[in-house]
Amino acid sequence: MALAIAQVTGWGTVSLLAILGRQIAADLQMNIAAVFAGNSVFYVAMGLCAPVLARAFIRFGARKAMMVGSVISALGFVGLALSNGPVAYFASWLILGGAGSATLTTASYIALNELAGRDARSAIGALMLVTGLSSSIFWPTTAFLSDALAWRATCLIYAAAMLLVCLPLYAFGLPRRIKIEHHDLKPLDVAATMQAPRTEKGTFYLIAATISLNAFVTFGFSAVLVELLKAEGLSPTDAVAFGSFLGVIQVSARAVDFLGGGRWDGIATGLFAGAVLPIAMVILMAGHGTYWSIAIFILLYGLSSGALAVARATIPLVFYDKAAYARAASHIALPVNVIAAAASPLLVSVLIHWGTSAVLAITILLAFGALLILLILSRRRPSLLAAA
């Protein structure tokens, strides 16, 4: 529960550009695409810091790393509130990205994996889907705070949340863990240290590729969804309402996991969700902004993106465990975050210059690419390799 609340708070606060992007652009006299590039800096910093932090996670544990990261996050939000131009603005997102590498997503996966190993799958799935509530809670919250206090005060409030909410939750809500020793690793774990045979390296690259492609689509959409819905003809109020409801649907996607009765792994979940994702986008493209098409899109996209949140976290569990998972997850985070960083400004630019149809066409192609790679991975499960 403590980890879930902290993750919802962490992701909800850093998603503020979806609501405050235009206000920040007007105040700092930057164009909207440049402001959304703050997301790019954030994800690039997360990706670059992740491999560096891998040793710290293994040596000190996720709990201590997340505590330090919360303090650094607070500094990032303070810097954002005090920004008076592009240099300070992007420097603040750089700080937030480094802190996010120690506190968000990968760190939470590692924390749960420290406690349960491969059995962490269900806990990781539940956590990632609950994290989907971050937009439902914080988009309206951010809109309310910015209307009442302006965007700079909102950033200061979020800085306080890092120190008064997230830091205590990590410090007192997470159990201490036993340091992972090398003799705890299974043979498959050792293969994950990046010194594995060629076939294992190939599998790693496939995992990184499919997760990265899906991350481009889902992370990119999370940043531009409200603007995309406005371009489809919705009022700002309706666009925020539809976007906020998305998080609730993503949480309900946990039912997809239950349908497998515990027999599905991350690859099976990813295949199901990956097939639904392009269907949702085709419906939105064909609907031309009608309410029914937007409602069906939100439903299907919410279910598929929510299930993909589980898949991104649990696909590596099919191949890695314990310390090997920490290493693999940290290395996967680099390409995932770099590609996710490109998603927001690219999709914003495409939306502005070519409209929603071009955005949807690009994301449909990427979604199909990720699905094809998942089909290849489904034939490389360790059990199948062992049988061969």
Question: DSSP string spanning 114-167?
Answer: HHHGGGGHHHHHHHHHHHTHHHHHHHHHHHHHHHHH-HHHHHHHHHHHIIIIIH
Q: Copy the structure tokens of residue 166.
A: 């997230």
**356 contacts 232 by C-beta, under 8 angstroms:** yes
Say if residues 111 and 127 touch (Cβ distance below 8 Å).
no
C-alpha torsion angle, residues 97, 105, 250, 245 (rounded to 10) = -30
C-alpha torsion sign, points 251, 252, 253, 258: positive
pLDDT at 335: 83
Tell me the CB-side half-sphere exposure of residue 386, using CA atoms within 13 A.
Answer: 6
Residue 144: pLDDT band with limits 50, 70, 90: very high
How open is the CA angle 124-273-294, to the nearest 5 degrees?
115
Task: Read off the tokens for 56.
Answer: 């710290």
Q: What is the CATH number of the domain that holds 188?
A: 1.20.1250.20
Q: Using one digit for the tens of pLDDT, what is the confidence trace for 157-202?
A: 999 999 999 999 998 888 775 444 444 444 434 333 334 333 467 8
175/127 Cα distance (integer angstroms): 16
pTM metric for this prediction: 0.70
Q: Quickly count: other Cβ atoms within 10 Å of residue 299's Cβ.
A: 16
Structure tokens at 2: 């403590």
Q: Best-predicted range by mean pLDDT among 31-40, 135-144, 213-222, 360-369?
A: 360-369
Q: Average pLDDT of 97-107? A: 89
Residue 152 has pLDDT above 90, yes or no: yes
The pLDDT score that the predictor gives to residue 181 is: 44
Q: Calculate the dihedral angle through the C-alpha atoms of 350, 356, 359, 361, rounding to the nearest 10 degrees.
A: -130
pLDDT band at 108 (very low <50, low <70, confident <90, very high): confident
Domain total for the chain? 1
Mean pLDDT over all residues of the chain? 82
Average pLDDT over residues 33-60: 84
Q: Tell me what the mean pLDDT of segment 251-257 comes to.
A: 65
Q: Residues 217, 312: contact at Cβ < 8 Å?
A: no
C-alpha–C-alpha distance, residues 157 and 298, integer Å: 30
Which residue range(s) make up the domain with 110? 2-387
Residue 263's pLDDT is 64
